[in-house]
Amino acid sequence: MFSCLLLPPSSSSTANACLEAAAKNNSPVMIQVSNGGGAFMVGKTVKDPNAAAAGSVALAYHVRAVAKYYGIPVVLHSDHCAKKLLPWFDGMLQADKDYFKMFGEPLFSSHMLDLSEEPDEENIAICVKYFKEMAPMKIWLEMEIGITGGEEDGVNNENVDPEKLYTTPQQVYAVYEALSKIGPMFSIAAAFGNVHGVYKPGNVKLSPERLLTHQEYTKEKIGSELDRPIFLVMHGGSGSTDDEIKLAVDNGVIKMNIDTDTQWAYWNGLRQFEAEKREYLQGQIGNPDGPDKPNKKYYDPRVWIRKAEESMVERVGESMERLGSVGQYPKSSEPGSQQCIVSKKKGNVMGGMVAGIKKIF
């Protein structure tokens, strides 16, 4: 049994690092966009209300364009979407529909709705509404019930009652009962003490053993022959111990999110490079090798960004090892290809864009 690692890149560089780590470790990988990451991708000065959706779609197209060159399975996912962020979700879903018309599959593989701040009944009802739109395109739905602590994309649960960090078996079954009537492609982020970010040991009490209780409760309710009839998700994976991760996977977690640790790894690669080459990074000309020596090969962004990528690749590989996904998918030897432009017979994406521009002018 293994779980898939989910990584939230905020640029083409971090996305490529995720892909490189997966190829290096012969592992499938999930690459996600967040509302904040989408807004960053499109440019922080853009204040258009659709900016986050546009940036998320842009990152998805980047991954679509290069993923096959890495030769490993990639799942494109969008992360936490609170009720106030539903316009962002709608924008991505429209992009899925447009892509589906051209290619027969959606742009994104899956989306997450995080309506855990809302009453359970409203949470489930909104998930049902969207799942009915997504199911015909075979888009996976992840939903959250119960609260993940910490702060993520505008949802702040840093001071929440600790008891609310643990979802009950009854809540999980209520979700299963409603969504299973539409289709099987859904997963549940059930809280078991999870917290976004990294905290000192002892400050967070994870209880992955509770996940087995959810499985047993639903199994009895539906009379399933499966020991783990529910697909579960683990949020707040950064800082978790190997034993906690292993128990969560054993109890049905199919995906673990890790963000904070990979952010640090990316920065740490740059930090170490700057410390090592500091005397070569104080000006365009002049370094310990001579007053007229150029420093371009040190301050070229491709150099220090690559050091950040290499550090992140190593850290991602560590998580893949812990989740048991290493070696699960031998790298494909088939030639790479992009997934963004179709032939003229089917309709050319770039041609359509040019036609649209001509209409404007």
pLDDT tens, per residue, the chain with 361 residues? 566 766 778 899 999 999 999 999 999 999 999 999 999 999 999 999 999 999 999 999 999 999 999 999 999 999 999 999 999 999 999 999 999 999 999 999 999 999 999 999 999 999 999 999 999 999 999 999 986 654 555 555 455 555 667 899 999 999 999 999 999 999 999 988 866 544 444 445 788 899 999 999 999 999 999 999 999 998 876 667 889 888 999 999 998 888 888 999 999 999 999 999 999 999 999 999 999 999 999 999 999 999 999 999 999 999 999 888 999 998 888 887 778 876 544 444 333 333 433 333 2
d(CA 268, CA 276): 12
Q: Is 161 exposed, middle or buried (0-12, 13-18, 19+ CB in 10 A)?
A: exposed
pLDDT of residue 153: 53
pLDDT at 349: 39
Q: How far is CA 118 from CA 104, 147, 287, 309, in A?
A: 34, 10, 59, 38
Per DSSP, the three-state class of 114 is coil
pLDDT at 136: 98
Question: What pTM was estimated for this model as a whole?
Answer: 0.85
Q: Is 232 helix (H, G, I), strand (E, B) or coil?
A: strand
**Which residue has tokens 């040991």?**
201
Angle between helices 12-24 and 51-66 (to 10 degrees): 40
**Catalytic residue from among 48, 79, 242, 289:** 79
Give the tokens for residue 32: 């996600």
Let me know if 250 is a catalytic residue: no
User: Which structure tokens are listed for 38?
Assistant: 């989408």
CA–CA distance, 75 with 283 (Å, rounded to integer): 43
> Which residues touch 197 (CB under 8 Å, ≥6 apart)?
150, 151, 236, 238, 239, 260
